[in-house]
Structure 1
């Protein structure tokens, strides 16, 4: 069996590069995608990642081509690029070398970021009135980030260098991927429940917009807003902005900057304390000299030489006040007595018993008059009653019956006054003084005058 000679890495990479270079399909490409991780070199070269929902490719646009761009490429832009694919031999990676680039709208992630920012901003999550101050001299600082990333090393080394007196609690969290949102939210809630720290740093190192996307999640934003512990957001680099940066109480451009913001610089603190100590000693000496001079002045005052003079003046003043008080009291007492006498005489005049006796006499007089008037009116009414009764007796038709007269009525109890109104066989009632009889008409004899 023939032994095959192994290739060197360089030879293999060169072979692959030749394959790329001679493939016509890879030499004149039009590629559409979303810009991510855009970086501009100091010489004008443009490095970025072109991606879609399922894949991404590194790309470079050299200064000669980038200088002809009519817009500024930014994170999240949707673009169409023209160029070719080649292999970078030293790194063993392939990239797209872009010659032309045109805008093709805004990328999906950037649209989602903008919509989330507008909605949460309208709810007030970014308002300055909700921002909490960072303690000047914290006793403990909490850090929520990946325990293995560069960010935690930068934060811990910076805190140790600046203020080694502070305690640091690390809350390990996932900062990338589908589980990152729940992990960050859980760490924020845990720190608030444990109440061990004065300040929280939440963040991670730099990366593409996809890498930082966990800090654009609504759950993380609301957890930061609801935190009772002040939070410093430290996500990515200085040019990276996430929703967490807007909601947090303070934003740091980098994790190192967050550590510098969270704790003071110990040499500066000591220097400040020394300055305060000098000022305190100076002010104490000044105050001491002032009080010493005041004491000397008071010691030489004539009152201190003869303190009885001050007592005598005060005693004289007290006597004057006592005399004035006695005069005022006596005057008030005299006025009160006179007023009392006046009120007493008025009370006697308006004694209710006097009014009651007078009212009783008046009532007795009115009673007698009422009785006399009632007797007089009663006699008059009795006399009138007898007169009217006599007239009524005279006018009463029934009183005629006592003289032998009678009253005749028919079956309907209607009075019969003439013979002509009767008929033979008619039943009539004859009312006499002592009763009534029924009779039947047998014969009618009219008066000859009729």
Structure 2
């Protein structure tokens, strides 16, 4: 019997059919660590799932990623993957075809939330520098939420109860489901066309899946770019969404958002009444103060008898006029006397005599100067003659010889007094303790004595 021969493709196809028929491999959950995770331009992602002893290649196609994957897997991440095991016939390898990926121990929505929060924080969407101040006394407030439901009723009721003079505009939108996020973002943009003071964006409580529309990137960007101050009011006090971090202010509930958005009109009225009372009191106090000032001014003598001030000023003016007249007369008298003296002086009566007198004085000074200069010249000429005819200039060598002879005489005298010359003639000098001995009383028995001769010193001891 001839044995049947199979091609490689037939064998791979056969094994593939066997695996597809195995119900245990059609909808399976596998736990492991992701490595070599890579997404290609097609949108498909390829990876390896491994544990301590083995590994299996895997793929997640773009369609499943867009529908179910809420976060970006990373190498080294512990995950649980739902999918099926089939053969990739071209390479003859079996691999895992993933439909859902969840981080082991955490839900995929939680992972996606943390990743988006980290990304937006890095982009600066949460920075306090971008936060706008919520107006205290708004005229018109917009609300982006569902048209029906407890949230919008609570917001409108609270605003009308606290601050009924404020208008409320509702921008209806879906608040959960796949189409909710784009619609919320569009309504936030649309609301900016209206003259709004504040915009509340939110909904009532629910699960993380119900609130997920407020964790989408496009909603975060719409809130961040909104020119109107935004209050985020999503869920209950324990619920936090990305919208809460991006908004200018977070309210724990929709009701709390309404209370934050508007003041209590009763407190406003009370505050206005208090300000009115303070203003009236301040005005009355100012009026009383001014009345007192006016009364004090009216009691002054200048107002009771205003003519008296003119009398005093008139007296002062008369006094100044008299002083001015007296001073001017004195000045005129002094100047007239000076003029009389000048007119009677010799300068005016006979100016030529004054000129001759001054000229004579000048000639006397010139003659005196000439005489003095001639005397100085004569004296200096005599001194010069004496110097030229002095013995020093005529015979300078004789003076040098005379000075040299005087110097030699002094040297001979010093030689006679020189103690060294005395030693050369055979005498000696005795010293003890560096002192010259001039008497036997200067030494005692046992003292050392130095005797200095012309050619040396002898050390001796007194016995």
How does the TM-score come out when normalised to structure 2?
A: 0.44
How does the TM-score come out when normalised to structure 1?
A: 0.46
